[in-house]
Amino acid sequence: MDPVLDIQRLSIRYPGALAPAVRDVSFTLGRERLGIVGESGSGKSTVGRAIMRLLDTAEITADRMQFEEVDLLNAPEKQMLDVRGKRMSMILQDPKFSLNPIQRCGHQIAEAYRTHVRCSKAEAKARAIAMLEQVHIRDPERVYDLYPHEVSGGMGQRVMIAMMLLTSPDLVIADEPTSALDVTVRLQVLRILDGLVRDKGIGLIMISHDLNLVRAFCDRVLIMYAGRVVETLDARDLDNARHPYSRGLLAAQPRIGGSREPLPVLARQDSWLEPLEADA
């Protein structure tokens, strides 16, 4: 089957920045769950935003950036308006910042629905409430009427996920979608995303720093360091990662019942910038 997304040698430089934030990143995504893990500031969100074409001032180069039949390097913004939100969605890392602060949460979900699907306001509201229920928000009718500053961190994340679920995208980029959720709700939300991959055949990119989550939930994992992909592996082999940065990540994780000695931290080295040779 054709990949949903094909990215070859993507580099991104923010205006005024000395070094590129992303360098020579290549991967393809099928109808699978691809995890991206990596250090804070390593360029994970930047890759996601570039795919969504949300970076209008940054300098972007690539040999290829293809989403289904859309050439993301050259598609006019007019075409992107039709693609973004409808065929590809991103769950942003700062949910409250991404929501309009002066509009009620439910209203924003309903309006997002109406930009893609023609229906009455009452229908859109009913859909929005159903979606809030689907992401396990207690009391969806109350939450529909709350402003973003009135919902909890985990509720904000789920409002973003509900918004994404309204349309049926082929590609979902989820940037830390569950970091503010308690474990029980987190598992419920992951099951929803999993259902999309299995039943609707979407491609899912899951940006996360939660190694347990990525190991158990994803099919493959890219490990990023300083703007580059330094290792690619099957998620179930994560514990056998070989790159020193990847190994350092695994060691830095606190564990239930572990010692209370200071956690191992990374002694970063320039040689880590080199990707492992065996990787595709």
Partner 1 sequence: MKPISIDRLSISFGPVRVLHDVSFDVAAGECFGLVGESGSGKSTILRCASMLTNIWDGTVRIGDHDVRKMPLAERCRTVQMVFQDPYGSLHPRHSIRTALDEGLRINGFDDREARLAQAMRDVGLPVEFLDRYPHQLSGGQRQRVAIARALILEPDVLFLDEPTSALDVSVQAEVLNLLVRLQKEKGFTYLMVSHDLAVVDHMCDRFAIMQHGRIVEVLDRAAITGGGATQPYAKELIGASLEYERAI
Ligand X SMILES: Nc1ncnc2c1ncn2[C@@H]1O[C@H](COP(=O)(O)OP(=O)(O)OP(=O)(O)O)[C@@H](O)[C@H]1O
**Contact between 20 and partner 1 per CB under 8 A:** no
Helix ranges (H only) for 84-182 are 95-98, 105-116, 121-134, 140-144, 153-166
**Contact between 151 and ligand X per CB under 6 A:** yes
**Contact between 43 and ligand X per CB under 6 A:** yes
Q: Which helix (H) or strand (E) holds 245?
A: helix 244-252
Least distance (Å) from partner 1 to the CB of residue 148?
Answer: 9
Among 10, 21, 171, 235, binds ligand X (CB under 6 A): 21
Residues 6+ away with beta carbon under 8 Å from 141:
129
**Contact between 211 and partner 1 per CB under 8 A:** yes
Cβ-based nearer residue to partner 1, 78 or 138 = 138
Instruction: Give the binding range for partner 1 (CB under 8 A) out of 65-73, 78-86, 182-190, 226-234.
Output: 182-190
Q: Which helix (H) or strand (E) holds 239?
A: none
What gap in Å lies between CA 167 and CA 200, rounded to an integer?
A: 12
**Three-class secondary structure of residue 14 per DSSP:** coil
**Contact between 76 and partner 1 per CB under 8 A:** no
CA dist list (Å): 247 to 38, 47, 235, 265:
12, 23, 14, 11
**Contact between 96 and ligand X per CB under 6 A:** no
**Contact between 61 and partner 1 per CB under 8 A:** no
Residues binding ligand X (CB under 6 A): 14, 17, 21, 38, 40-46, 93, 146, 150-155, 180
